[in-house]
Amino acid sequence: MSAPQSAAVRPSGAAPLSGTALVTGAAGGIGAAVVRALATAGLPVALLDRDAPALWELAGELAATGARVLAVPADVTSAKEVDAAVATVETELGPIENLVNGAGVLRSGPAIEMDDEDWETTLAVNAGGVFHTSRAVAARMVPRRRGAIVTIASNAASTPRSSMAAYAASKAASAMFTKCLGLELAPYGIRCNVVAPGSTRTPMLTALQGDAAERASVDGVPAAYRLGIPLGRIAEPAHIADAVLFLLSERAAHITLHDLTVDGGATLGV
């Protein structure tokens, strides 16, 4: 669905952004926060997620404010669906200049007890989805010699976590894929970066440990060799969205292959 582009003036101090944006995992959590931030900045935004009802609801809400949005239900684990979605976005909204890989799932549990389906699904969404979407969009960016890609990974990609082997491995794969892609695309002026959130107030965090998740994240879990958060609070989705928009913007014009950790100091800057 689409609506006329908002005529709202970009908020004072906002990072300079332009061009159509595509966000995967757009229906909730961090993805939805990124969508809202991009729409507020005045960009046409395509929302991609396999949760069609939630996707239509968010798109309708934003369209009612005057934002130019397009809901594209698709499963990032399917290369065919992703390719079709990208083609639709470019036809309806214009050339994609900003891609945010936000789709992700979390299947937790001890590595030796994890079943094949949990492992394969986690890798298929968190790593395979980044591959499918980045490949489809980057192939179109190269002839135009412009664009920016940001993959939302996790601080777990570089710090071992108990009961999160599949998630950590998938995020490490997505982060390194993004950096390798960025090396290959640099000659075309296309930048590829990673945002690595820590614990963030999303349904995914609540699903992990219920209501105790936030306290455990802030205080740490010594028995699991997990540090707490020095800033004493978990992130809000908007904090992650701010980092994403910065890396997409012209203020980050000379930044590529970078991993920006947004975790309140939980991994001590490592």
Going by C-beta distance under 8 Å and a sequence separation of 6 or more, which residues neighbour residue 13? Answer: none
3-state secondary structure (DSSP) of residue 262: strand
Give the C-alpha separation, 78 to 80, whole Å.
Answer: 5
Nearest to 22 by CA among 54, 53, 55: 55
Active site residue 167: yes
Q: What is the pLDDT along the chain (270 residues), one digit of tens a residue?
A: 333 333 333 344 556 899 999 999 999 999 999 999 999 999 999 999 999 999 999 999 999 999 999 999 999 999 999 999 999 999 999 999 999 999 999 999 999 999 999 999 999 999 999 999 999 999 999 999 999 999 999 999 999 999 999 999 999 999 999 999 999 999 999 999 999 999 999 987 766 666 677 788 899 999 988 989 999 999 999 999 999 999 999 999 999 999 999 999 999 998
Q: Which of 55, 167, 61 is nearest to 111 (CA)?
A: 167
The CA distance from 171 to 141, in Å, is: 24
Catalytic pick among 55, 68, 133, 167: 167
Q: Which amino acid is at 195?
A: V
pTM: 0.92
In the three-class reduction of DSSP (H, G, I as helix; E, B as strand; rest coil), residue 131 is classed as helix
Residue 58: phi and psi, rounded to 5, are: -65, -45
Domains, the chain, ordered by start: 20-262 (3.40.50.720)
